[in-house]
Amino acid sequence: MTHSKAVPGKFISFEGIDGAGKSTHIGFVADYLASRGKTVVSSREPGGTAVGEKLRDLLLHEKMDLETEALLMFASRREHIAQVIAPGLARGDWVLSDRFTDASFAYQGGGRGLDRAKLEALENWVHPHLQPDLTLLFDVPLDVARARLDATRTLDKFEQEQADFFSACRKEYLRRAAQFPDRIVVVDSTRSIEETRAFLAQVLGKLVA
């Protein structure tokens, strides 16, 4: 339990560079948990609330100053915690979030080069006592992620970034996985969807037990 006050619910975040495959597996995780009697809330960042979805639209489509981008990510997060995450955990739900603060360290910190101390200050302000119970970091080489994205959709502002940007994001994600080994589980997302599901079931089995 990584919340300062004991809460009955659990919080799982899903991370990875764009195209790594995390969104594909959130539905599987939700079904797995529901089949074991858990009430599941699935959400995302930026977004997850009415205000957050408006911020998401700005963040994914408008060019802006790097610090504005970081601040808006944390503004969306603050609203998400207040409206969705904290109430869900207090009810005893299992809250699944497609991205959380590791993404700010990876993208605004690693990818864009924002000073890590500024991100830590924002983290300490916005959620001083809340961390996910488990973070699933979907990891793939850049070329695999890019091929998956190119095959599927029109690219947003972040997805249009170049390889060196994603390389720096991935490096920061993996650095954080090494820093927080008890929380972050690296998922080898080069494997097939079926193999990945089997691995996720093993990881979740330990948390549900």
Ligand X SMILES: Nc1ncnc2c1ncn2[C@@H]1O[C@H](COP(=O)(O)OP(=O)(O)OP(=O)(O)O)[C@@H](O)[C@H]1O
Ligand Y SMILES: Cc1cn([C@H]2C[C@H](O)[C@@H](COP(=O)(O)O)O2)c(=O)[nH]c1=O
Please give the annotated binding residues, written as ranges.
16-23
Residue carrying the six token digits 């983290």: 123
Shortest distance, position 194 Cβ to ligand X, whole Å: 9
Site for ligand Y in 127-146 (CB under 6 A): none
Site for ligand X in 114-153 (CB under 6 A): 138, 148, 152
Using an 8 Å Cβ cutoff, are 207 and 134 in contact? yes
Exactly one of 16, 46, 88, 132 binds ligand X (CB under 6 A); which one? 16
- Asked if 79 touches ligand Y (CB under 6 A), the answer is no
Exactly one of 35, 154, 162, 192 binds ligand X (CB under 6 A); which one? 192
Site for ligand Y in 12-41 (CB under 6 A): 18
DSSP 126-172: H-TT---SEEEEEE--HHHHHHHHHTT----TTTTS-HHHHHHHHHH
Using an 8 Å Cβ cutoff, are 135 and 184 in contact? yes
Measured at the CA of 45, the angle between CA 116 and CA 3, to 5 degrees, comes to 70
Interface residues toward ligand Y, by CB under 6 A: 18, 44-46, 73, 98-99, 103-104, 107-108, 158
